[in-house]
A and B are shown apart, each in its own frame.
Chain A
Amino acid sequence: MEALAIYQRLTEQFGGRVLETVTQKLDSFCVIDPAAIVEVGRFMHDDPALAMDCLSNQSGVDYKDRIEVVCHLFSYQHRHGAVLKIKLPRDNPRVPTLEGVWKSANWMEREIFDLLGVTFEGHSDMRRILLPEDWEGYPLRKDFVEAAEYHGISTVRESPIIRLDPKHK
């Protein structure tokens, strides 16, 4: 099935909870109401015409005024894919977890939580995955400023070349 036909089918099934379908030259996508994402995911997984058995990629993007969680779904059976997006406020973004539908969401959601600060409600193990547990802030947010030091280890280093060159004072 073509991606647009998939979004059409979703709109028929879920009506207003599919907020919009964006058609563009490269990957088109549709935006889902955050509250309905698990239901939509479950439907796409179980529906024989869609059979999205694989959550191939899940990532987050900070757009300065909102955070988007992007899910790339794929069906090995039908060899078609779809892109779902969820738009969340930057201030305390929360969304239900997809772990119950696709197990691969477990680690990918932890990564989004770790780097972008999106909390996935109902997740079985919502802790940081790549960064240390006492790390402050979410590095992939556009306004992230790295602290000058971490446990007494400096995160900045003066360049010895610049220091030696008299042109750089």
Chain B
Amino acid sequence: MTSLVIAEHDNASIKGATLNTVTAAAACGGDVHVLVAGHNASAAAAAAAQIAGVAKVIHADSETLAHGLAENVAAQVLAIAGNYSHILFPATAGGKNVAPRVAAKLDVAQISDITKVDSADTFERPIYAGNAIATVQSTDATKVITVRTTGFDAAAATGGAAAVESAAAQADSGKSSFKGSEIAKNDRPELTAAKIIVSGGRALGSSEKFNEVMTPLADKLGAAIGASRAAVDAGYAANDLQVGQTGKIVAPQLYVACGISGAIQHLAGMKDSKVIVAINKDPEAPIFSVADFGLEADLFAAVPELTNAL
């Protein structure tokens, strides 16, 4: 029994989500191999070989794998899928995109977003925006899984010494091509890996106010910035900042919710945070029901005051 983890990487380095996925793979039992499919990705493959607990790294390199196109990455996974009992992807935008393609081609069900491994074929996963936890058993020979990274500790990024094996790249599907991307550049920690997140809601009222109020607090705390769906829908914050059922699932040490009412779908994305602070002027806001420390106040006064007090 051997598990294959599909690495999340940017060709130069391994993304943190890969480390949590390695931990989930190890919990399934047996050896853990990691596939790094990319372009000029030797550095990422070398980094994967350092991850504690990884027995082998398979490195496929081709221009056709440069942008993680689902058709090409899935073909790369399928070329070696027969060797594995478990194939695990981090439940990131990239992993969610590719995993079901692999499962369908193998004619097996996929188990999405697992938060716990009970045994080699039994897993726990949240359903209904985390309002229920299902324990599910797969009857298929190969388990194709996406891993909710907040459910598993990160494996140590160093300490391993796995061999790196090259694999031939599969042919381009010819049906999909990458045209470009707009990736927000900033020096903040990545939202899903941040120890502290400050998150703003619709109450901020505009994107100018959002930046004016939230950015200094984030700077002071060295925090990542998140947003509620309402704030993103209203255009106050970029889509990739959305925390919630259909956005990012986060579990930082400290989550500071400012002007966020606490809709079910938002709570689904952050209620596993260690400490939650809510600042809201509505005493009835549902966010207070999950907050360790609630401050009933106008955020336009309280957040700057908090920033200054830190």
A and B bound? no
Chain A interfacial positions (CB closer than 8 Å to B) = none
Chain B interfacial positions (CB closer than 8 Å to A) = none
